[in-house]
Amino acid sequence: MAEDSVNLVIFGIDSLRADHMSCYGYHRLTTPHMDEVASEGVLFENAYSPYIPTTPGYTTMLTGMDVMTHEMVSLRPKGPIGPNIRLLPEILHEKGYASACVGLDDFYRGFDKYESYEAWMTWEDAPGHKAESLNDKALPLLDALAKSKQPFFLFMRHMDPHSPYLPPPPFPRMFYEGDWKDPSKRSMEPVFAFDRFAEFFKSWMPPGVTDADYIVALYDASLAYMDVCIRHVLTRLKELDLMENTLIVITADHGETLTEHECYFDHHGLYECTIRVPLIYRYPSKLPKGKRVKGFVLQQDLTPTVLELMGFGEIPKQVRLELLGYGDFPKGLRMNGKSSIPLIKGEVASNYSEFYITECTWMRKRGWRTTEWKLIEALETDFHNKPPIELYNLIDDPEENQNLAKKEPEIVEMLKRRMIGWVEKRMNETGKPDPIMGYQLGPDLRIGSITAARDLQAVGEEEKRSEEYIHGQTYARGGY
């Protein structure tokens, strides 16, 4: 490997909400090792994954494209990512990079090697060792990549913040000392009353749990456990003398709802807890230490930012990274995302003042977020029976508890016009239909237990087209 080559390591964590990391101000010390990475690099305070859940999240992250271009709007896509769209590992392969991925499959094409690990367990299987299992695959890959004569790209998808939250001892009691079976506590009653997810919850949550705060504490404990295992990877990078010439990125495909908005312990709902994600870059030779950036960035900005940091050409601002063979980038490469380097340098305040948001797995919704307002529009009735239109003032009500849609009809109409105008503009630019309009979820979606989801992998070929099989297969292969 040439001494001046830049390696890339991305921790693309599943279901990690920024506001439960201690470097983002959380009251519990959940992520001290990732905090250290942030102290040695740049942390973005307002990074968003605008298209959720996992499939659109990771597709946006790895292509630099918005949902109107890549069309992967749902967990269950209707086809592969288009061949005319190049993913980050494909781009780096053209530049002579070796690559490996742990936790995603070859739907996200371009990696030289793919490895999977066990990330699903029931209460009877507990405790889980998700991050250790990931390390069992990632560390040998890292060693092999380091011995190669090529620069490398290693991508890791940690599943610890994704349910089931069942970390090994001593973590489960790290943030909770009470009696989680206390009969006087009843906060789990509405969780188990949501029958669409009740069987799933009961298959992994502690039997007899009455206190939802304990499940939240298990989420936080899973972060702390994962953080320790991430330290192991960072230590190995240091032992291999790779920390100074490796760009390290920490981010997530989406966040997680815990007890908010009745979307319990999952990641549906276009609320801040689900679409706001962490974003940290560490690269000592090009990035300042301990810098925090307040401007808005989106997941489609990650790939163009990474490519610029890796030295493949400084892009003129006026073309906004719509790359046409400039510098060392592959000729003909175009991206919707924008480099975040100007924000880091203080040349611009934000990459966006407003942006489009979507979800299309358990609820089919779209929305428009500005610096002050968020509009959420239901495209069909959802299984929570939420209002068809939601409007939140994010300045006065950052937790989005007060729906102002009926009180502020003019603002609703203004935001809808801007949202629809943007969608129509992007449809004209791409020549493609609006992908979210190609789905109809229906009112009867539900998920079974983890065991049932696993068993569905073994069904006969004639059953594989059933909706039940599709739901179960998705969970069994790694979830959303």
Question: Is the pLDDT score of 392 beyond 90?
Answer: yes
Question: Is the pLDDT score of 32 beyond 70?
Answer: yes
Question: Is the pLDDT score of 453 beyond 70?
Answer: no
* Other C-beta atoms lying within 10 Å of the C-beta of residue 334: 15
Read off the pLDDT band of 379 (50, 70, 90). very high
pLDDT at 443: 82
Question: Is the pLDDT score of 257 beyond 60?
Answer: yes
Query: Is 448 part of any domain?
Result: no
Query: Is 405 part of any domain?
Result: no
Residue 467 DSSP class? H
pLDDT at 439: 95
Domain that holds residue 205: 7-353
- Range with the lowest mean pLDDT among 105-119, 127-141, 261-275, 456-470? 456-470
Question: Is this prediction's pTM over 0.85?
Answer: yes
Query: Is 323 part of any domain?
Result: yes
Q: What integer best gives the mean pLDDT of the chain?
A: 90
pLDDT, one tens digit per residue, over 69-122 is 999 999 999 999 999 999 999 999 999 999 999 999 999 999 999 999 999 999
pLDDT, one tens digit per residue, over 183-205 is 999 999 999 999 999 999 999 99
Query: Is 347 part of any domain?
Result: yes
Query: Is 437 part of any domain?
Result: no
pLDDT at 452: 52
Q: Are 144 and 182 in contact (CB under 8 A)?
A: no
pLDDT at 444: 84
Query: Is 387 part of any domain?
Result: no
Question: Is the pLDDT score of 400 beyond 80?
Answer: yes
How many angstroms separate the Cα of 121 from the Cα of each of 124, 172, 417?
A: 8, 15, 45
pLDDT at 445: 85
Q: Strand, helix or coil at 116?
A: coil
- Range with the lowest mean pLDDT among 120-124, 252-256, 441-445? 441-445
Q: What is the mean predicted confidence (pLDDT) over 382-388?
A: 92
pLDDT at 449: 77
How many angstroms separate the Cα of 434 from the Cα of each of 38, 125, 419?
A: 37, 42, 12
Give the CA radius of gyration of the chain: 22
Q: What is the mean predicted confidence (pLDDT) over 400-410?
A: 98
Q: What is the CATH number of the domain that holds 281?
A: 3.40.720.10
Question: Is the pLDDT score of 451 beyond 90?
Answer: no
Query: Is 127 part of any domain?
Result: yes
Please tell me the distance from the alpha carbon of residue 388 to that of residue 379, in angstroms, as a whole number.
8
pLDDT, one tens digit per residue, over 215-249 is 999 999 999 999 999 999 999 999 999 999 999 99
Query: Is 27 part of any domain?
Result: yes
Q: What is the mean predicted confidence (pLDDT) over 309-319?
A: 59
Give me the number of domains the chain comprises. 1
Element (H, E) at 231: helix 212-239
